Amino acid sequence: MWTTSIGKSAKIGLLAFSLAASVAIPSYAASDALTVVVTDEPKSLDPCDTDLSGNARVLRNNITETLVNLSPADGSVEPSLATAWEQVGDLAWKFTLREGVSFHDGKAFDAAAVAVALKRAQDPTLACEVGLATLKGIVLTPEVVDAKTLVIHTDFVEPILPNKLSALDIGSPDTPTHAKSREPIGTGPYKLAAWTPGQSITLTAFDKYWGDKPAIKDATILWRAESAVRAAMVDTGEAQIAYEIAPQDGTTANDHAFPNAETSVLRIDQEVAPLNDKRVREALNLAIDRDGLIGTIFHPQAQKAMQVVLPSVFGYNADIPVWSYDPEKARGLLDAARADGVPVDTEIVIYGRIGIYPNSSESLEAIQTMLADAGFNVRLEMLETSPWLKKLLKPWDGGRQPSILQTQIDNTEGDAVFTLPNRFTSDGNTSSIADTKLDTLISDASKATGDERKRLFQEAFKYLAVDAINIVPLFHMVTIARIAPDVNYTPDVQAGNEIKLKTISYR
Interacting residues of 425 by C-beta distance below 8 A, sequence separation 6+: 137, 431, 438, 439, 442, 443
CA-to-CA distance for 124 and 121, rounded, in angstroms? 8
Q: Are 70 and 77 in contact (CB under 8 A)?
A: yes
Q: What is the mean pLDDT of the chain?
A: 92
AA identity, residue 419: T
Which one is predicted more confidently, 51 or 342?
A: 342
Q: Are 358 and 365 in contact (CB under 8 A)?
A: no
Check residue 74 and give its pLDDT: 81
Q: pLDDT class for 182, splitting at 50, 70, 90?
A: very high
pLDDT at 231 over 70: yes
Q: pLDDT class for 412, splitting at 50, 70, 90?
A: confident
Question: Which is nearest to 109 in space by CA: 187, 32, 46, 44?
Answer: 187
pLDDT at 22 over 60: no
Q: Are 430 and 422 in contact (CB under 8 A)?
A: yes
Rounded mean pLDDT of 215-219? Answer: 97
| Tens digits of residue pLDDT in 43-102 | 999 999 999 889 999 999 999 999 999 998 888 899 999 999 999 999 999 999 999 999
Check residue 438 and give its pLDDT: 97
H/E stretch holding 68 reads: strand 68-70
Rounded mean pLDDT of 457-474? Answer: 96
Q: pLDDT class for 181, splitting at 50, 70, 90?
A: very high
Rounded mean pLDDT of 175-200? Answer: 96
Rounded mean pLDDT of 344-362? Answer: 96
pLDDT at 14 over 80: no
Check residue 496 and give its pLDDT: 85
| Tens digits of residue pLDDT in 436-461 | 999 999 999 998 988 999 999 999 99
Q: Is the peptide bond prior to 311 cis by the omega test (within 30 degrees of 0)?
A: no
pLDDT at 407 over 80: yes
Q: pLDDT class for 21, splitting at 50, 70, 90?
A: very low
pLDDT at 11 over 60: no
Three-state SS at 5: coil
Q: pLDDT class for 392, splitting at 50, 70, 90?
A: very high
Give the rounded percent of residues in the chain with a pLDDT score beyond 90: 86
Q: pLDDT class for 15, splitting at 50, 70, 90?
A: very low
Q: pLDDT class for 146, splitting at 50, 70, 90?
A: very high
Check residue 145 and give its pLDDT: 98
pLDDT at 176 over 80: yes
pLDDT at 18 over 60: no
- Number of Cβ atoms within 10 Å of the Cβ of 231: 30
Rounded mean pLDDT of 149-175? Answer: 95
| Tens digits of residue pLDDT in 240-296 | 999 999 999 999 999 999 988 899 999 999 999 999 999 999 999 999 999 999 999
Q: Which fold does the domain 259-478 belong to in CATH? A: Dipeptide-binding Protein; domain 3 (3.10.105)
Check residue 215 and give its pLDDT: 96
Residue-wise DSSP of 232-300: HHHHHTS-SEE----TTT--STTEEEEEEEEEEEEEE-TTSTTTTSHHHHHHHHHT--HHHHBTTTB-T
pLDDT at 30 over 90: no
Q: pLDDT class for 6, splitting at 50, 70, 90?
A: low
pTM of the model: 0.84
As beta bridge partners, residue 86 has 94
Check residue 27 and give its pLDDT: 40
